[in-house]
Chains A and B, each alone.
Chain A
């Protein structure tokens, strides 16, 4: 078969002057501008488009839009390939390539189809039953199931396209560009309200020039409303370039809209239900509305000869349109014993068999439909009776009634209710500022939809203060179309969920095995768990379960609708934030210099900090040790700009800080610093840093790099909520000042050369002193503080000058052998000095645990003071800070190791009580020439000299360690003070 033999010469919304070439499974086909992939495949007579998930049965196109469960294809190839795409929603473009899924080695011959022959081995709940003993077999099953399941391939290359997010706000958001939605947008737009109208299709269903002319109305086509969250926040996914071979240069492929709307109008339409009958999944069996859509919108005949199978009136209109497109309607089979005269009039000159049902579908070449078998059915029980009738056909157009598309309504937390007359769930009480209209509200009459839309759009605008057009009167007395639910009571495979291969018998099995709640039914059978979220299957499945349980459908209930309404791309969700843009980074004034020196970087919060500077002829470890040794012997500079800095001012600044820190600060004079510790309310250590008194009523406090944000939040909370009566002003100035620490025996000489007007003599500028000066017109803050344990200073200058001072220090200090050092060496130096950092301040330690008990003032109250006195925080047996050295003087102490008394004890992960503590920090000490560490050990302060064992549960190493004073270098502090 070649060419578009199922395409009519006229009609439809396609542009025959723009022919398009595409391939499906490697074969070339032609379509037209305006086609979907599905309509083009049907035009070319392609009937089988995929294999089913579990049984690998051949499947054809069932629907024409969102509802499609079968025609899932892999689009494109290489970096732009995309799996599980509904062919019914893919706009055709020239050069499109698509391949079918769930088949191996080919669509025509699929090895796994043998599952269909042994389907009794793959019943509902098969997945869960494989969990049963023997348990280890699950591993085997799982691999086979995964491979057989297919479901397309994820791309393995980086996505080359650009995705964007977009925030938007409006007075009225209308979802759905059908007659009701357009009418609502128009009425709201006429009031002057800011309106957004979103429609998934490439164009609105009615062309509306007035709408396009309104500046206050934004019409978004190719835009799906994916989610409806609290506060009328909706997520819309706009496909800007998906209908092109590739986006234009700099063009965004998809835009994810996050819309906050004061009012929402849902005009999301309705989706047709399939009927449940034996072999209802044969290619050629499709929804009547889909066959109608292909005929009317695309001028495509779904086949040559059709049987229409229905339980309601809507399929008669479909039959009329199919006939008009040239499809021979062999018969309309109606399960109802009687139909109205007006309905019968729609089918003039067409054979109508009421009180009949299809009891089987025969398949021919490739599995496609070649005929149906009918029987009369009992009007009450639905049981087939009498003799079978065979009718030849290649299309079965079925209609089981209509489900309003209530997914977004349900996501909005609106209460859905069951409408017996329509045999469908419809919107009930709204939970947010929302209105459902048109078919989404169970209104199926065209004129009534337009009026309902107008009234809802106007009312929504009026509710937010706009002068909206008057309401129109709805034609009254239009009865809802009767749509009784119906499913064949028995027979071969009667599919309910096409995508997940769930049959009516599977639901029966779930019922018999006790999985009767809808939520259990869903998990046990996987009903409704496909990418289509059961759009065609849920209500039929509920009806069958209700029948088994002899309950009404509302009593059975329904599962929860969850976002997204239909799958959206991860690219759209990520937007800009991928790769190096995943998170913002913070860089100091000296970052570019560090990069130019080839430093490696590590992250501290969002900051990027240099770890070490590579040196020719040295390994990374040797370079780090060189830096650390050099600081102890000569002088080094390190970028400490990342430390948190908070400016504290006000008449009550001192009182405020006294309440925040455990230290007594009343005697802190202007021009001096103090090391301070703050606790959380619960008495554990929160953070540490320095407090410097810049002026009588002005302080600068520093925090650790990663705690800068939390400490600022903590202080703001205390100032604003707990003690609003205090006159205190807080401002984070972390980024205003570049910070450089200058450490080592030569640091004083180096600074004396750079700042000649400052007296660096010990008496004039002692340890923990603070001085301000001016260098070359730049204000400079100098602090004599030390993290390394060496004679050291920290220098702060306004950030734009930071790099100048960094280079000036290196140039001035060249004769003194100054070098830059990174965070690795800094860490070694502070471990050697026994200074704690984030590794020790882990949220579980008290000030006493760290040896800071003496700093806790007894003369004033401070945050955490009361709860720090709790028994558990003061009792014997708490883990206290200790130094660790390997007993043999050379074996490295494993990182993160557990500390045990008995090296031969069972693995500590199974005997938590045997763990006496943990290694918190470890390194090789260049100053001492052997490995050292810090740890927290039960009653560690009393155990100096004891030998214990550090056991790593990860590497299984066990190393004998001796506990020591945590200060390894200069315990007397001579270097600091000298």
Chain B
């Protein structure tokens, strides 16, 4: 009998670990982030929701466009007025727990609908700039910034974790196309897959 509870990545069998592209020190390391949970939180009552979430989950939901906030066990990305993408650890009934806390809000567990790719290394910004029309210069897109944009015509959410480290979230169905774009764009700089 099939194990119904075996979680399969959209990138199953797509990549192998190792060094690829131009020779020399790799410009970036690429990896898929698995094992985390993603929640989409939308509210019409921003103040009450922020208070409730801060109390129960220890994160101050950012109110400024394009900003992230990190709490004890989760990270919140501003994705619109009263709208956040929450990255946290998976738990049973996670969606219900957040929905109970954030009354008058809509919560969706979107862990399965998205994939997260991490790109890290000195060439990360140059590679992303090949497909993302935003200004990714460190002065314009510093650590802690996030944005919803396009990479190679694919909708993405970009989360700047550090000076040369980014998490790219996209729809699950686009996983293979985004992976192909990322590796194609990184080839001239050389890349490692982990």
On A, residues with C-beta under 8 Å from B are: 162, 164-169, 194, 248-252, 258, 260, 576-577, 581, 583-589, 592, 607, 647, 649-651, 698, 727, 729, 731, 733-737, 775-778, 798-805, 807-808, 811
Contact = CB atoms under 8 A, between A and B. Distances in A.
Contact of B106 (A586, A589, A650): A650
Nearest to B111: A798
A808 B140 contact: no
23 contacts: A164-B188, A166-B130, A167-B129, A194-B139, A576-B152, A585-B177, A587-B175, A587-B176, A607-B173, A651-B104, A727-B104, A729-B44, A729-B106, A735-B113, A735-B114, A735-B172, A776-B5, A798-B109, A801-B6, A801-B7, A801-B8, A804-B6, A811-B2
B173 A169 contact: no
Given A250-B21, A577-B152, A585-B177, 5 more contacts: A166-B130, A584-B181, A731-B110, A736-B172, A798-B111
B106 A776 contact: no
B145 to A, nearest CB: 14
A249 B8 contact: no
B4 A801 contact: yes
B105 interface: yes
Interface of B: 1-10, 12-13, 21-23, 40, 42-44, 104-106, 108-114, 129-135, 137, 139-140, 152-154, 171-178, 180-181, 184-185, 187-188, 190
B123 to A, nearest CB: 12
B45 to A, nearest CB: 9
A167 B126 CA distance: 9
B92 to A, nearest CB: 9
Among B4, B42, B171, the most chain A Cβ lie within 10 Å of the Cβ of B4
B8 A803 contact: yes
Contacts of B22: 248-251
B111 A592 contact: no
A576 B4 contact: no
B130 A731 contact: no
A790 B187 CA distance: 51
Contact of A584 (B6, B8, B44, B153): B153
Nearest to A580: B180
B164 to A, nearest CB: 16
A731 B178 contact: no
Interface majority SS on A: helix, strand, loop or mixed?
mixed
Contacts of A729: 42-44, 105-106
Contact of A647 (B10, B106, B180): B106
Contacts of A650: 44, 106
Contacts of A581: 177, 180-181, 184
Nearest to B44: A727
B157 to A, nearest CB: 14
Given A584-B178, A589-B8, A801-B4, A736 B173 contact: no
Contacts of B109: 736, 798
Contact of B108 (A607, A731, A811): A731
Contact of A592 (B1, B13, B23): B13
A165 B188 contact: no
Contacts of B171: 586, 735
Contacts of B180: 581
Nearest to A582: B153
B154 A584 contact: yes
Given A166-B129, A576-B184, A584-B177, A731 B40 contact: yes
B4 A775 contact: yes
A663 to B, nearest CB: 23
Contact of B3 (A735, A776, A802): A776
Contacts, number: 153
Nearest to A652: B44
Contacts of B152: 576-577, 584
B43 to A, nearest CB: 8
Contacts of A164: 130, 185, 188
A592 B4 contact: no
B176 A777 contact: no
A585 B135 contact: no
B131 to A, nearest CB: 7
Nearest to B181: A576
B4 to A, nearest CB: 3
Given A584-B152, A587-B176, A804-B6, A169 B135 contact: yes
Nearest to A780: B4
B113 A647 contact: no
Instruction: Please name the 8 residue pairs, one residue from A and one from B, whose CB atoms are nearest each other, closest first.
Output: A736-B113, A776-B4, A729-B106, A586-B173, A649-B106, A169-B135, A584-B177, A798-B112
Contacts of B23: 249
B170 to A, nearest CB: 9
Given A581-B184, A584-B153, A729-B42, A736 B4 contact: no
Nearest to B82: A729
Contacts of B106: 647, 649-650, 698, 729, 731
Contacts of B134: 167
Contact of A799 (B43, B108, B113, B129): B113
A924 to B, nearest CB: 32
Nearest to A260: B135
A646 to B, nearest CB: 11
Nearest to B155: A584
A804 B3 contact: yes
A736 B2 contact: no
B111 A589 contact: no
Given A586-B171, A733-B108, A804 B130 contact: no
Given A736-B110, A800-B9, A807-B2, A165 B131 contact: yes
B172 A169 contact: no
B108 A808 contact: no
Nearest to A607: B173
B1 A808 contact: yes
A637 to B, nearest CB: 14
A250 to B, nearest CB: 4
A118 B181 CA distance: 56
B23 to A, nearest CB: 8
B107 to A, nearest CB: 8
A251 B129 contact: no
Contacts of B108: 647, 731, 733, 736
Given A649-B106, A778-B4, A576 B172 contact: no
Given A581-B181, A592-B13, A777-B5, A252 B112 contact: no
B26 to A, nearest CB: 12
Contacts of A584: 152-154, 174, 177-178, 181
Nearest to A653: B106
Contacts of A576: 130-131, 152, 181, 184-185
B127 to A, nearest CB: 10
Nearest to A641: B173
Contact of B132 (A167, A592, A776, A803): A167
A578 B7 CA distance: 33
B47 to A, nearest CB: 15
Contacts of B188: 162, 164, 250-252
A577 B185 CA distance: 11
A755 to B, nearest CB: 11
Contacts of A736: 108-110, 112-113, 172
A878 B93 CA distance: 52
Among A258, A577, A650, A729, the most chain B Cβ lie within 10 Å of the Cβ of A729
Contacts of B175: 587
Among B2, B129, B133, B176, the most chain A Cβ lie within 10 Å of the Cβ of B2
Contacts of B7: 800-801
A168 B129 contact: yes
Given A251-B22, A589-B10, A800-B9, A733 B113 contact: yes
Contacts of B177: 581, 584-586
Contacts of A805: 2, 4
Contacts of A169: 135, 137, 140
Contact of B42 (A166, A250, A586, A731): A731
B153 A577 contact: yes
Among B111, B130, B140, the most chain A Cβ lie within 10 Å of the Cβ of B130
